[in-house]
Structure 1
Amino acid sequence: MSDLEKQGHKTYDEVDSSASQSINPVTSPTYAYKTSATKWQHFKDSFKRVEVEELDPNLTDAERAAIATARSPLKRHLKSRHLQMIAIGGAIGTGLFVGSGSSLRTAGPAGLLIGYAISSTFILCMICALGELAVEFPVSGGFTTYCTRFVDESFGFAANLNYAIQWLVVLPLEIVAASITVNYWGTDKKYRDGFVALFWLVIVVINLFGVRGYGEAEFVFSIIKVTCVIGFIICGICLVCGARGSYIGGKYWHHPYGAFVGDSAGARFKGTMSVFTSAAFAFAGSELVGLAAAETSNPRKTLPKAAKQVFWRITIFYIVSLTLVGLLVSHKDTRLIGTSSVDAAASPFVIALVSHGIKGLPSVVNVVICIAVLSVGNSAVYACSRTLSAFSEQGYAPKWMNLEYVDRSGRPIVGIAITSIFGLLCFIAASDKEGDVFNWLMALSGLSSLFSWGGIMLCHIRFRRALSAQGRNTDELSFKSPTGVAGSYYGLFVIVLVFIAEFWVAAWPSGYKQMSGSAIATNFFEVYLSFPIVLVCYLGHKIYKKNWTLWVPASQMDIDTGRREVDIELLKAEIAQEKAELAAKPAYKRIYAYLC
């Protein structure tokens, strides 16, 4: 790593004032301040831009993008506990607590579980692949940057824009969901704007505290959500086993309810396939550990553990809790979300408790849903602002937009401002069409995650191909994906199949013969809106740049810029020593280290 790259990670509050005379603020992102300055002056100065040295104009676009994202002056304040809770916090939200209701209604309890179980398998492959890449390249923008470096410039443009749009719409989407949740208590419409404004303000203020404030907030939010899910699981098991006087068991899986929705095999298949849209929305955020790598103090130590543990926690929380939801709530229950704009306030978790006479807890669950909104909204501002910054650093955005602006506190302040302003769309919650707004915003963000996850696994495949083509091997990797390249191929293959199945479901939904043409068109775009957006971005960039290559040749791929450990031989020696130490430990410790 160059001196410039090393300097790029210091900020003005980390420099001794005695060194101020030797620092050039034009060529270095390092700043000094006088100890006599007031706290208010320090606060104002923290919003000033960190200036970095201009890049060599003779560099290629790919080289400029790699260097710019590698030396981004974001602060490294995230720890292991933050990373684990960030991933969980981004993945446990209204998608689980609220969105799963519509999936239960359209697919039945068995279809709901099948959809989420299949999603969990490629989520495992994605997280492992991302962990390997993020440990080696903890750069600004994370995997969106990898798409440009390891696949193709146009693919990187589409991936960056897709991911930014996904999180851009998630913020108002989550706050609209919060307004739906507040309806549960019969909140008068005239107070709804007040709740929306409160949620929006809290989310924006948290992100103004920088990455440390974001990390601590996510840590607290996620603990509350995880506690709620664990409590629901314990309560749900007791209810299913007859704690309220009558044994429930698999009652709602049998006649007259049925495990699936539909009278024919085709209808049941379509119902199950429809789950993938809501599952993708619900699992969105699992990849945040990779995006946060650039702001992690020691990614080599913390990311592998976070990547592996996050999968197990999310899978257990989702699969177990949704199994209990399917056992406690009939898919024919008219209170499930999507039935009407009035009943949309109740989540299946709340319905499960209310239906079996549990008092008090339904309101607690709704409070936790509101906290989940804050958590996912917090992640939305964080993810979108960092993606927009990396988008500009890679040369995709006009210079006048200043999207790469990072202040002295390490905040991509322009990205935060744009995301926050777009979040004001949440005030549409006061409209009678809030249910429609929820559906369309969910359509924009639903399949976007599948594109991102597929892109991550494609980047992993291309990275491993480049190692081989350049005469190098995986011995130089600090962390190797437990699922390997085979897992990435599997995950990418399943995602392609899901897109094909989703197209069929979107174009020919269940009961389409009885539907009008406009209803079929509305259903198609609610399910498949992300696909044409990404396709237009990809082809549009190809045409604009007149770049018709499919991907960067493996032999020419840059697989060194951005690494924090640049002495490969020393790194190999450290890895070999760590493996020897692990091999000397008891079998149960080796198994735990492999899985967690």
Structure 2
Amino acid sequence: MKLNPSMTVSSVSDEDPIDDLFPESFALGSNTIAYGNINTNPNYNNYPPFHGHSTGGISLRPYPSSLTPSHSIPSSLGTFIIDDAASGTGGAHIIDDVGPDHDFPKHHTELRRTLTTRHIQMIAVGGVLGNGLFIGTGKILGNSGPLGIILGFLITGAIVFSVMVSFGEMVALIPIAGGISAFGSRFVDDALGFALGFCYWFSLAVAIPTQVASAAILVTYFEPFDPWHIPPAALTVSFLFVIILINALEVRIYGEVEYVFGQLKLMFLLSLIIVMCVLNRGHIPPQNGKTTVFPVDFLYWRSDMNNSDYGPFRPAFEVTSSKLIRGSTGTFLMIWTAVVQSVYCFSGTELVALTAGEARHPRKSLPRATLRIFFRIFILYMLGVFAIGLNVAAGDNVLPSFYTPWSVFDSQQVSWVYGLSQDGNCISGTVNMKGFSNSNSSPWVIALHNGGQCVGAAVVTCCFVFCAWSAGNSFLYASSRTLYALAVQGKFPRVFRRCTKRGVPIISVLFTFMIALTVFLVSFPNSTSITVYYWIRRLTSVPGTLVWAGICLSYIRFYYGLRLRPDIVQRDMPSYPYRSPFQPYTAYFGLIGCVLLVIFNDMTIFTQFEWQYLFASYVSLVLFLLCFLGYKFWRSTRIVPLSQLDLDLGRREMDQYEAETAAELGMMEKGIWGRGKRAWYWIKVLTI
């Protein structure tokens, strides 16, 4: 049904393109300025005014230069921006679903801002604390030594810090949903926004089954869950369906669930670090009565010519048992390998900014959550890798090796043995499924086994299962919101914008879940397709680094574009929401670091070339380039000039909201009682 002169538009959604041109007559509320266009070429900078019918003091104008959306509107889509002149704030919105075959409004397409600071922080914790830290650190320790793993995490942490503070500043000023894709489109090129958004969504979608399958494999540590009685595939499918049920909940309830999960994971990690420190001093008696306990101190850090397993670094970079690289070159390769492999442990920190579209007060909560969650994770990570380096020798033969011949993945052997672990202290199940092992290869479990803490190792394994499953839960949230944002921007079919009455993008959630389930069913259960599963697991790490690079590039353009807009708040003003340190050099450092990580993301292909490793390492980069070039040629996009960066949509609405909040606070009483009421107001806003 078309709009007609008797209809009045009273509510609109944010930044939504429409499928059809407006009818010749329509009606809007009084004191409204309407900007519109009927031009089908998105690369034109000058838009003619849309000629409509005014019944309430409406003036029709062409797009002002600050609202020219030449980089974000797909071709053949009409767009209509409404500016509320009566409010005096210039808030801009775009009507959706208006045309000859659409009702207004036809369905719910908006998220709800109900997440507080504590929710946002714990959603990110849920994505970061997965099996990367608890299982993946074993391979890094075995390759690089206790000092090498610390340096690797330190360098990666510096790169991630650069990315996070840059992203946090942009989101604080312009808190919009799907910032990863939206900022790439606004500040660089619409094709870059599409490539970043699609690759990030797809990588998260395929990361869901890898995390959940890892949880299922970890369960095989216990005898009742051996692979022949309860297949890991059955456990994985069960875990996946629990995840979809949680993600279908209202976002406020989902936030509470993630808050509880995140707190449990943080307490578990902190407790585990404390246990490692006490175990190192020999203050925990063994439970099996067979192990001799003595203070380890820095024994594994001391270089010993009689024992090559000890020392801050490995004696040589071991490509294979017969191919060793010694000297400074070998030390450099150890550190760089630790940097590359630790990226997977930090994946998910950007989930903080993905909540911008559902944060209650994004300018208050997002900068605070960004910094808090990074420093919490970084400090705990550094303490964690230091603790495992104290308690496990880097040369322990239970730790995974740097290089595994591809023939291992192609073989049909699946083994599971229940009995004494390889250290001979505890009874557990040891599974080897085409190169994938359970928690017996975790340095945390190895340390507990060495100390005779068999019950403790079993409890820790249970916590590992929970952490891996919870990470998959966070990934479904992040990937579904990314898909929703792509649909809002017109880069995906509009059906993925559809939300429930409580603001859950249910179509995006269900579609992403089906992709995750399909990927798992195709790759994991079949004995001949574990190779595909390995490729998929590698597919989840490189796109994250590409996204980090895109964030830094977007910020650099944002930084210089903001300086050309003296009419809006600048970085040196007190009212600027959040000013990240040492910019733009911080963003340049992050960009260069991420580019190097993408290029040299797997040292295996440089030291022991196999074409399968080459494909697994760079298929994500090829997919990204195909998305970028394909979208660029299809939509004929171009790099947005700095003078035309869209710094208005999203920012002005938040300015208006903050002005209303300030007015509400200003009406409160003065004095001690008034200050107390204002303090209680912000406590409720940011925490409840």
Bin of the TM-score, shorter chain as denominator length: 0.7 to 0.9
Residue 335 of structure 1 aligns with an amino acid whose one-letter code is V
**Conserved? CA contact 1:139–1:562, under 8 Å:** yes
Q: Structure 1 residue 272 and structure 2 residue 332: aligned?
A: no
Partner of 2:20: none
**Conserved? CA contact 1:102–1:336, under 8 Å:** yes
Partner of 2:625: 535
Q: Once the 2 structures are TM-superposed, how far is the Cα of residue 296 of structure 1 from its aligned partner?
A: 0.8
Q: Indicate which of 337, 349, 353 corresponds to 1:290.
A: 353
Deviations 1:330-389 (A, max 9, x none): 233233356753771122221221121113121221111121123211111111111111
Q: RCO higher in 1 or 2 (8 Å CA, sep ≥ 6)?
A: 1
Q: Indicate which of 469, 484, 509 corresponds to 1:416.
A: 509
Distance (Å, rounded) in 2 between the aligned partners of 1:185 and 1:379: 26
Query: Aligned ranges for residues 25-424 of structure 1 at < 5 Å?
Result: 58=39, 60=42, 62-64=71-73, 73-186=110-223, 187-189=225-227, 190-192=229-231, 193-244=233-284, 245-253=293-301, 254-255=303-304, 256-257=308-309, 258-261=311-314, 262=317, 263-337=326-400, 340-341=432-433, 344-346=437-439, 347-398=442-493, 402-424=495-517
Q: Structure 1 residue 555 and structure 2 residue 673: aligned?
A: no
Deviations 1:459-479 (A, max 9, x none): 222112111122352225212
Instruction: Identify the structure with the greater helix proportion.
Output: 1
Partner of 1:4: 11
Distance (Å, rounded) in 2 between the aligned partners of 1:324 and 1:239: 10
Change (3 A) 1:123 1:67: farther
Partner of 2:592: 493
Q: Once the 2 structures are TM-superposed, how far is the Cα of residue 194 of structure 1 from its aligned partner?
A: 3.3
Partner of 1:466: 561
Q: Once the 2 structures are TM-superposed, how far is the Cα of residue 67 of structure 1 from its aligned partner?
A: 5.9
**Conserved? CA contact 1:86–1:218, under 8 Å:** yes
Deviations 1:406-435 (A, max 9, x none): 232211112111221122233554444686
Change (3 A) 1:91 1:491: same
Deviations 1:516-543 (A, max 9, x none): xxx6222223333322221222222223
Q: Structure 1 residue 566 and structure 2 residue 668: aligned?
A: no
The runs of 5 or more residues in structure 2 that have no matched partner are 1-8, 17-25, 29-35, 43-69, 75-91, 97-107, 285-292, 318-325, 405-431, 667-688
Distance (Å, rounded) in 1 between the aligned partners of 2:475 and 2:313: 34
Distance (Å, rounded) in 1 between the aligned partners of 2:12 and 2:165: 27
TM value normalised by structure 2: 0.70
Distance (Å, rounded) in 1 between the aligned partners of 2:528 and 2:150: 30
Partner of 2:613: 523
**Conserved? CA contact 2:71–2:189, under 8 Å:** no
Moved more, 234-243 or 426-435: 426-435
**Conserved? CA contact 1:443–1:528, under 8 Å:** no
3-state SS, counterpart of residue 73 of structure 1: coil
Q: Once the 2 structures are TM-superposed, how far is the Cα of residue 483 of structure 1 from its aligned partner?
A: 4.2
Change (3 A) 1:567 1:295: closer
Deviations 1:160-185 (A, max 9, x none): 11111110111011011112211111
**Conserved? CA contact 2:72–2:185, under 8 Å:** no
Partner of 2:547: 452
Distance (Å, rounded) in 2 between the aligned partners of 1:432 and 1:208: 33
Residue 406 of structure 1 aligns with an amino acid whose one-letter code is C
Deviations 1:467-497 (A, max 9, x none): 1122352225212113432211221122223
**Conserved? CA contact 2:113–2:359, under 8 Å:** yes
Change (3 A) 1:272 1:437: farther
**Conserved? CA contact 1:95–1:278, under 8 Å:** no
**Conserved? CA contact 1:277–1:447, under 8 Å:** no
3-state SS, counterpart of residue 403 of structure 1: helix
Distance (Å, rounded) in 1 between the aligned partners of 2:556 and 2:374: 20
Distance (Å, rounded) in 2 between the aligned partners of 1:363 and 1:431: 29
3-state SS, counterpart of residue 62 of structure 1: coil
Distance (Å, rounded) in 1 between the aligned partners of 2:636 and 2:220: 52
Query: Aligned ranges for residues 504-515 of structure 1 at < 5 Å?
Result: 505-509=603-607, 512=608
**Conserved? CA contact 2:114–2:252, under 8 Å:** yes
**Conserved? CA contact 1:142–1:291, under 8 Å:** yes
Deviations 1:278-312 (A, max 9, x none): 32222111111111011011112211211111111
Distance (Å, rounded) in 1 between the aligned partners of 2:94 and 2:547: 22
Moved more, 178-187 or 156-165: 178-187
Deviations 1:526-577 (A, max 9, x none): 3333222212222222233344x4x211111110101233359969x99xx9
Moved more, 326-335 or 338-347: 338-347
Partner of 1:482: 581
3-state SS, counterpart of residue 389 of structure 2: helix
Q: Once the 2 structures are TM-superposed, how far is the Cα of residue 199 of structure 1 from its aligned partner?
A: 0.8
Deviations 1:16-52 (A, max 9, x none): xxxxxxxxxx999xxxxxxxxxxxxxxxxxxxxxxxx
**Conserved? CA contact 2:124–2:348, under 8 Å:** yes
Number of positions where the alignment pairs a residue of Structure 1 with one of Structure 2:
520
Residue 329 of structure 1 aligns with an amino acid whose one-letter code is V
Change (3 A) 1:69 1:355: farther
**Conserved? CA contact 2:313–2:331, under 8 Å:** yes
**Conserved? CA contact 1:273–1:502, under 8 Å:** no
Distance (Å, rounded) in 2 between the aligned partners of 1:27 and 1:105: 70
Distance (Å, rounded) in 2 between the aligned partners of 1:108 and 1:69: 58
The runs of 5 or more residues in structure 1 that have no matched partner are 10-25, 29-54, 513-518, 578-596
Q: Once the 2 structures are TM-superposed, how far is the Cα of residue 316 of structure 1 from its aligned partner?
A: 1.1
Q: Indicate which of 635, 638, 653 corresponds to 1:545.
A: 635
Q: Once the 2 structures are TM-superposed, how far is the Cα of residue 149 of structure 1 from its aligned partner?
A: 0.6
Change (3 A) 1:494 1:69: farther
3-state SS, counterpart of residue 357 of structure 1: coil
Q: Once the 2 structures are TM-superposed, how far is the Cα of residue 63 of structure 1 from its aligned partner?
A: 5.0
Residue 404 of structure 1 aligns with an amino acid whose one-letter code is R
Change (3 A) 1:3 1:312: farther
Q: Indicate which of 516, 520, 529 corresponds to 1:426.
A: 520
3-state SS, counterpart of residue 331 of structure 1: coil
Change (3 A) 1:266 1:533: farther
Q: Once the 2 structures are TM-superposed, how far is the Cα of residue 7 of structure 1 from its aligned partner?
A: 9.1
Instruction: Identify the structure with the greater strand proportion.
Output: 2
Distance (Å, rounded) in 2 between the aligned partners of 1:104 and 1:432: 30
User: RMSD of aligned C-alpha atoms?
Assistant: 3.2
Distance (Å, rounded) in 1 between the aligned partners of 2:270 and 2:95: 39
Residue 266 of structure 2 aligns with an amino acid whose one-letter code is V
